Amino acid sequence: MNNFDPEKRAWQESNRAALLARLDFALNAAEDTLFTEEWSGHFVAVTKEEETLRLWLIDQNANDTDWVQSILRLSDPLTLPMSYTQAMMLALIWQPQPERIFVTGLGGGGLATVLHHHLWQSRIDCVELSPPVVAAAIGCFGFAPDDRMTLTTGDALEALKEARPRSYDILFLDLFFDNGETPEHLVTDDFFRLCQSRLRPGGLLTMNLGAKGPEFAQRLETIGASFPTVYTCRGHGSTQVVFASERPPISSFALTQQAIAVQQAHNFTFPYVTWVSRLIQQRPDSERPDSERPAPESAQ
């Protein structure tokens, strides 16, 4: 479907109007905390400041661990203010017309909402671990499941176990606690083999991962054990987005051309194509020239 399809345009106009209507209360609310609820030793909170909503996950028993889960600009709720979510949309380079998508780590639902709006005929299955985060997404951020966007409250691992093999074209994984760490059971060999088994031929896994410390390189290696082609994209914060597939690598020129085609189809209100310049193909050590291989650690 091209951007000038009248049925698509009519649906999107109606969808945007409905989203704005759901956000009307927040637009008229004072700058304050709009939502707070306890969950598993944390506070889930939504604040409004300067026409912007933020979803926070705050550890009750530690200092300086507040973590912004989502940001929504009330003036343009279909943009993606957080850089890593913009980068994750590069998944459409590999799968421009996905039939079925898995999204986990819902947050405020911004990524799922944007996918739902632009990929107006795709089916999207969303999974979120925290019930208060679900309540905040629906009650404050305008997230709205419907006949083609479902929402399940639970663990991503269990949800993927229950899914049929070869169910999805794209898996979007954004799985963090308040300290910026991904739960250990969601970065194992077994987990990524499960992800690989749930993707259709040519499907893509895209995952937001903390980029600090040696754990990042170790996790890339773990992903590479299940997916022969791996790219990374550095955002503007402390994370990197990983794209993993069984498909062969794509040339830099082809990546750019496909990104241009995706942007022309959807007219995203964020700098979509510029993210391609941050894509780096990761290669196994055996394929790297000696100059690129990490130096061996000195004996202790």
Q: Report d(CA 102, CA 72) in Å as an integer.
A: 21
Q: Report d(CA 225, CA 283) in Å as an integer.
A: 12
Question: Helix H segments across the chain?
Answer: 6-22, 24-28, 83-88, 91-94, 110-118, 131-139, 156-162, 189-198, 215-226, 252-266
Q: Report d(CA 56, CA 66) in Å as an integer.
A: 6
**Per residue of the chain (300 residues), what is the pLDDT tens digit?**
455 789 999 999 999 999 999 999 999 999 999 999 999 888 999 999 999 999 998 877 766 656 788 999 999 999 999 999 999 999 999 999 999 999 999 999 999 999 999 999 999 999 999 999 999 999 999 999 999 999 999 999 999 999 999 999 999 999 875 455 788 899 999 999 999 999 999 999 999 998 877 889 999 999 999 999 999 999 877 889 999 999 999 999 999 999 999 999 999 999 999 999 999 999 764 454 444 433 333 322
Tokens encoding 271: 């700098």
* CB-based contacts of 18, cutoff 8 Å, min separation 6: 144
Whole-angstrom CA distances from 176 to 74, 104, 185, 191 are 24, 10, 12, 16
At residue 299, the 3 state secondary structure works out as coil
Chain-centre distance for alpha carbon 114: 11
CA-wise closest residue to 116 among 104, 125, 105: 125
Tokens encoding 175: 């799985």
At residue 56, the 3 state secondary structure works out as strand
**Coarse DSSP helix, strand, coil percentages of the chain, rounded to the nearest 5 percent:** 35, 30, 35
pLDDT of residue 57: 87
pLDDT of residue 291: 42
Q: Report d(CA 110, CA 126) in Å as an integer.
A: 12
pLDDT of residue 2: 52
DSSP per position, 26-50: HHHS-SSEEEEEEETTEEEEEEEET
pLDDT of residue 59: 79
At residue 235, the 3 state secondary structure works out as coil
Cβ 186 vs Cβ 173: under 8 Å: yes
Count CB-CB contacts under 10 A for residue 289: 7
Whole-angstrom CA distances from 169 to 51, 67, 123, 172, 196 are 35, 30, 10, 10, 11
Tell me the domains of the chain and their CATH numbers.
Answer: 78-283 (3.40.50.150)
Q: List phi, psi (to 5°) of 48.
A: -120, 130
* CB-based contacts of 295, cutoff 8 Å, min separation 6: none
pLDDT of residue 193: 98
Beta bridge partners of 36: 45
